[in-house]
Structure 1
Amino acid sequence: MALGLNVTEPEEACSDENCPFHGSLSVRGQTLEGRVASTDMTKTVIVEREYDVRVPKYDRYMKRRSRIPAHAPPCVELAEGDTVRIAETRPLSKTKSHVVVERVAGGDE
């Protein structure tokens, strides 16, 4: 099934309805890249992104970070520290509107 993104489909199949590869969930909007900060919840990971914001008063940059809850399908094996690509989708819960579509690199790589 084509997502419209340049990502590799996982070899392992799953029966998750909210999987963009094996279920009926469609992706749209932004694709973001970040690091998995937490895997404590069931089928959910927290993806952390760091970026720089310019402060005009001091003519310098300061670091900011955002933590995005994303749905983790069972067919994508994830651990804390992994770099992942997430895509925007319809709201899956009160806070989840993203789904993990690809594991870019492992935490120890």
Structure 2
Amino acid sequence: MAIGLNVSEPDGTCADESCPFHGNLSVRGQVIEGEVASTAMDKTVVVEREYDVFVPKYDRYMKRRSRVSVHAPDCFDLTEGDTVRIAETRPLSKTKSHVVVELVEGEE
């Protein structure tokens, strides 16, 4: 089933209603790539991405990070250190408004 993004469908299957591939969750808005920082929660992972911000006073760039709580459907087998692509959705909880849509690269 196509979700409107150019991503490959996961190998696994799931019965999760909040899965864009096997449920009825629509994706819209931003598509972000980041690294899985934590898998401690149930059906949720924390994705961290690092970016550079220019500081005019020192005429240099400084590193910043943002951490996003992301819904992880059962069809993805995620571990810490995996690089994933996430997409914005409707709010799923107080802190979750994104869902994993593709496992870009796993730990070797």
Q: TM-score, normalised by structure 2?
A: 0.98
Count of residue pairs brought into register by the alignment: 108
Counterpart CA distance in 2 for 1:11 and 1:105 is 14
Aligned-pair identity (%): 76
Secondary structure of 1:49's partner? strand
1:54 lines up with 2:43 in the alignment = no
Give the Cα separation in 2 of the matches to 1:67 and 1:59.
26
**How far apart in 2 are the matches of 1:5 and 1:24?**
15
Q: Which residue identity is paired with 1:8? A: S
State the match for 1:105 in structure 2: 105
Q: Which residue of 1 aligns with 2:4?
A: 4
The residue identity in structure 2 corresponding to 1:63 is K
Match of residue 30 from structure 2: 30
- Which amino acid in structure 2 is aligned with residue 27 of structure 1? V
Distance in 2, matches of 1:11 and 1:84, equals 15
- Large movers: runs of 4+ above 3 Å: none
- Out of 59-68 and 8-17, give the one that drifted further: 8-17
Distance between the aligned counterparts of 2:66 and 2:41, measured in 1? 18
Deviates more, 1:18-27 or 1:99-108: 99-108
Structure 2 residue ranges without an equivalent (≥5): none
Q: CA RMSD in A?
A: 0.6
**Normalization by structure 1: what TM-score?**
0.97
In structure 1, list runs of 5 or more residues that go unmatched: none
